[in-house]
Amino acid sequence: KRQDMPIRSVILLHDNARPHTAALTREKLNKIYWSTLEHPPYSPDLSPCDYHMFGPLKEELGGHRFDDDEGVETFVRNWLQTRPDSFFDDG
């Protein structure tokens, strides 16, 4: 590709640091047709562990030992696949 040709269909996810949200940055991203995904504000009182899925998953993982990352990934995938649809709907 030519360097002066904009890349299409890009969605940029970044944090809310001032350089990322500055007007000049937003203008440049708009000029090259990049969309940005809004990042939620930092909230120290919210933790991913507070969400519906992580409590039951943490409980299920308790006491398990894994030899490698693949073992953890397989366990979590299997756990997710065995949850009923209502588990995700109720969350």
Q: What is the pLDDT of residues 28-75, one digit of tens each?
A: 888 887 777 777 777 767 666 667 788 889 899 998 999 999 999 999
Joined tokens for residue 87:
């588990």
Q: How much is the pLDDT for 75? A: 96
Instruction: Please give the mean pLDDT across all residues of the chain.
Output: 80
Secondary structure (DSSP) of the chain: --TTSPPSS-EEE----HHHHSHHHHHHHHHTT-EEEPPPPP-TT--GGGSTTHHHHHHHHTT---SSHHHHHHHHHHHHHTS-HHHHHH-
pTM higher than the cut 0.85:
no
Residue 79's pLDDT band (cuts 50, 70, 90): very high
Joined tokens for residue 15:
């944090």
